C-alpha cells in the first residue's frame, strides 16, 4: 500500500517491504509510547506519586545509554536477526509490565521495552541504509516514520480505549498480541543477507567525525524538549481539566494526526530542503509552542493548540534527523544511529525526572513547557552550528 508513494527509482525489494516495516514499527512504537500519556493513571494503580513513577521511567530511559553498544553489536548481526530480537524483547517487556505486581517489576518491563526497541529500530534502519541511497533516504525513512505517529494515533489510542474499558494492564497485553503478529510477518518476509554482515565487520576502523557529535547533542536536546511535554500532558489534562483515560486517549489521537502530517511533510520535503535545515526548522517551531503553553496552560483550547504546534515541530525535526543519523558513520549505520538514539533516550531519561518534579513543584505544566522551549532553542543552535561547520560530507 505505501509502495505507491515511491517512484521507480526505488528497488522492488524496498517498495515491497515498506508497508511491512512501517506496520511492525507501529506496534513497537505503540508499546513504547503507551506509558507516558497514562503515567498518572498507572501511578494511581500502584498508589504512588507522579514523581515516583517518573523515577521508574528515568531508569527505563537510562537504558538508552546502551544504544551505542547495541548499535555496534547490531552491525555484526543480520538485519533480520536484530529486528526479531527487538520484537521478542518488546513483547516480553510489555507482558512483564502488564502483569507487574509492583512498580519495581513494572520498571523492569518498560526498561526491557526500551532496550530491545533499539534492536528493532537499528536493525530496520540498517536494512534501509543497505538498500536505499542516502540522497533518497529522507523520503523512505519519512514514510516509515509515520509509524511513530500511527503508534500514537492508532496504537496508543486503542490501548487507551482498552484501558478505559478494563485497565492499563489490559492495554499492555493488547500490545503483546500486536507485537506477536508483527514478529510472524517479519520472520516470514525479511530474509537474512549474510554477505552484508561480513562487509560491515571489515569497516571496524570507521568512527564518528568531530562535528558529528553536534548531531548527537542535537538529538539529546530535542528529546529533552519532547519529554517535558509527553510525560506531563496526561497529568495536566487530568489535574487541570478532569480528563480520564478516554479523554487523554482522544487528545493523544489528535497528537497522532499532527505527527502524521509532520512525518508526511518530512518525507516530501527533507531531501529537497536538506536534512540539517529541516531539523533546524522543526526545532525552531517548538520554541514558540512551548512558550505559548507556558502562558496559556490554564486554558484548555489555547493550551492544546500550543501543544499541537510543539509536537508538529518535534516530529518534523526528529524524522528529518534520522536519515542524517544513519549516515554519520556511512559504512556502519548502526553505530552512528546508535549514538544518536542513545543521546535521545538519555535526554528523555533526564527529563523524566526533571519534568515530573517541575510539574509537581509548580502545580502544572507551565514550568515543564518553559524548560522544553529552552531545550528546543538549544537544539536549534546546535544543528545550526553543525551546518556552519560543514555539515555532513558524504560520498
b/e per residue 32-48 (b: at least 16 CB within 10 A)? bbbbbbbbbbbbebbeb
Q: What digits encode the pLDDT tens for the residues 76-92?
A: 788 899 999 999 999 99
Domain assignment of residue 377, given as a range:
2-388
* 395 within a domain of the structure (yes/no): no
Q: pLDDT band at 202, cuts 50/70/90?
A: very low
Identify the residue with better confidence: 290 or 50: 290
* 134 within a domain of the structure (yes/no): yes
Identify the residue with better confidence: 141 or 85: 85
* 76 within a domain of the structure (yes/no): yes
Cα 55 to Cα 43: distance, rounded to the nearest angstrom: 11
Whether residue 127 is predicted with pLDDT greater than 80 in this model: the reply is: yes
Cα 310 to Cα 367: distance, rounded to the nearest angstrom: 15
Q: Shortest CA distance to 303 belongs to which of 360, 224, 239, 350? A: 239
Do 394 and 326 contact (CB within 8 A), yes or no?
Answer: no
Q: What digits encode the pLDDT tens for the residues 155-200?
A: 998 998 999 899 999 999 999 999 999 999 999 998 877 544 444 4
The DSSP code sequence of 82-104 is HHHHHHHHHHHHHHHHHH-SSHH
Whether residue 140 is predicted with pLDDT greater than 80 in this model: the reply is: yes
Out of 85-99, 223-237, 250-264, which region has the weakest mean confidence (pLDDT)? 250-264
* 184 within a domain of the structure (yes/no): yes
> What pLDDT is stored for residue 209 in this prediction?
63
Mean pLDDT in residue range 368-389 = 94
The DSSP code sequence of 299-350 is -HHHHHHHHHHHHHHHHHHHHHHHHHHTTSSTT-HHHHHHHHHHHHHHHHHH
Mean pLDDT in residue range 353-357 = 89
Residue 89 CB coordination number (10 Å) = 21
Cα 41 to Cα 53: distance, rounded to the nearest angstrom: 11
Whether residue 395 is predicted with pLDDT greater than 80 in this model: the reply is: no
Residue 83 CB coordination number (10 Å) = 29
Percent of the chain scoring above 70 in pLDDT: 93
Query: Total structural domains in the chain?
Result: 1
- How high does pLDDT run on average in the chain? 86
Whether residue 342 is predicted with pLDDT greater than 50 in this model: the reply is: yes
DSSP assignment letter at 151? I
DSSP assignment letter at 3? G
> What's the CATH number where 380 sits?
1.20.1250.20
What is this structure's pTM? Answer: 0.75
Whether residue 104 is predicted with pLDDT greater than 90 in this model: the reply is: yes
Identify the residue with better confidence: 331 or 231: 231
* 230 within a domain of the structure (yes/no): yes
Residue 381 CB coordination number (10 Å) = 16
> What pLDDT is stored for residue 394 in this prediction?
47
Cα 71 to Cα 210: distance, rounded to the nearest angstrom: 19
Percent of the chain scoring above 90 in pLDDT: 43
Q: pLDDT band at 208, cuts 50/70/90?
A: low
Identify the residue with better confidence: 352 or 177: 177
* 131 within a domain of the structure (yes/no): yes
Q: What digits encode the pLDDT tens for the residues 266-315?
A: 888 888 888 899 999 999 999 999 999 999 999 999 999 999 999 999 98
> What is each CA distance from 143 to 14, 140, 218, 237, in whole angstroms?
12, 5, 22, 31
* 394 within a domain of the structure (yes/no): no
* 356 within a domain of the structure (yes/no): yes
Residue 277 CB coordination number (10 Å) = 17
Cα 320 to Cα 306: distance, rounded to the nearest angstrom: 22
Amino acid at each position: 500500500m505505501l509502495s505507491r508513494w515511491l517512484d521507480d527509482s526505488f528497488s522492488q525489494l524496498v517498495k515491497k517491504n515498506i508497508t511491512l516495516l512501517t506496520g511492525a514499527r507501529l506496534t513497537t512504537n505503540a508499546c513504547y509510547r503507551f506509558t507516558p500519556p497514562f503515567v498518572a493513571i498507572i501511578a494511581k494503580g500502584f498508589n504512588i506519586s507522579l514523581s515516583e513513577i517518573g523515577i521508574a521511567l528515568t531508569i527505563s530511559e537510562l537504558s538508552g545509554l546502551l544504544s551505542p553498544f547495541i548499535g555496534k553489536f547490531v552491525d555484526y548481526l543480520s538485519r533480520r536477526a536484530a529486528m526479531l530480537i527487538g520484537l521478542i524483547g518488546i513483547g516480553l517487556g510489555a507482558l512483564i509490565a502488564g502483569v507487574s505486581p509492583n512498580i519495581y517489576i513494572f520498571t523492569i518491563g518498560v526498561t526491557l521495552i526500551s532496550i530491545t526497541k533499539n534492536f528493532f529500530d537499528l536493525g530496520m534502519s540498517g536494512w534501509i541504509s543497505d538498500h536505499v541511497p542516502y540522497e533518497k533516504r529522507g523520503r523512505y525513512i519519512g514514510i516509515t516514520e509515520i509509524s511513530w505517529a500511527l503508534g500514537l494515533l492508532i496504537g496508543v489510542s486503542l490501548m487507551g480505549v482498552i484501558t478505559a474499558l478494563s485497565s492499563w494492564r489490559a492495554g499492555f497485553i493488547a500490545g503483546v498480541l500486536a507485537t506477536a503478529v508483527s514478529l510472524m510477518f517479519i520472520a516470514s518476509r525479511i530474509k537474512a543477507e549474510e554477505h552484508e554482515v561480513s562487509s560491515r565487520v571489515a569497516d571496524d576502523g570507521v568512527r564518528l567525525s568531530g562535528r558529528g557529535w553536534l548531531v548527537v547533542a542535537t538529538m539529546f536536546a530535542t528529546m529533552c524538549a519532547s519529554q517535558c511535554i509527553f510525560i506531563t500532558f496526561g497529568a495536566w489534562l487530568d489535574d487541570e481539566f478532569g480528563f480520564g483515560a478516554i479523554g487523554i486517549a482522544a487528545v493523544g489521537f489528535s497528537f497522532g494526526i499532527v505527527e502524521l502530517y509532520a512525518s508526511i511533510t518530512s518525507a516530501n520535503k527533507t531531501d529537497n530542503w536538506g536534512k540539517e535545515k529541516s531539523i533546524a526548522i522543526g526545532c525552531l517551531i517548538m520554541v514558540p509552542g512551548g512558550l505559548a503553553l507556558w502562558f496559556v496552560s490554564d486554558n484548555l483550547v489555547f493550551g492544546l493548540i500550543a501543544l499541537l504546534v510543539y509536537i508538529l515541530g518535534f516530529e518534523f525535526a526528529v524524522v528529518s534527523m534520522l536519515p542524517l543519523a544513519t549516515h554519520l558513520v556511512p559504512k556502519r549505520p548502526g553505530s552512528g544511529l546508535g549514538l544518536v538514539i542513545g543521546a535521545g533516550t538519555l535526554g528523555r531519561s533526564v527529563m523524566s525526572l526533571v519534568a515530573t518534579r517541575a510539574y509537581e513543584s509548580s502545580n502544572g505544566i507551565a514550568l515543564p513547557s518553559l524548560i522544553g522551549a529552552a531545550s528546543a532553542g538549544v537544539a536549534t543552535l546546535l544543528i545550526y552550528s553543525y551546518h556552519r561547520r560543514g555539515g555532513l560530507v558524504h560520498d
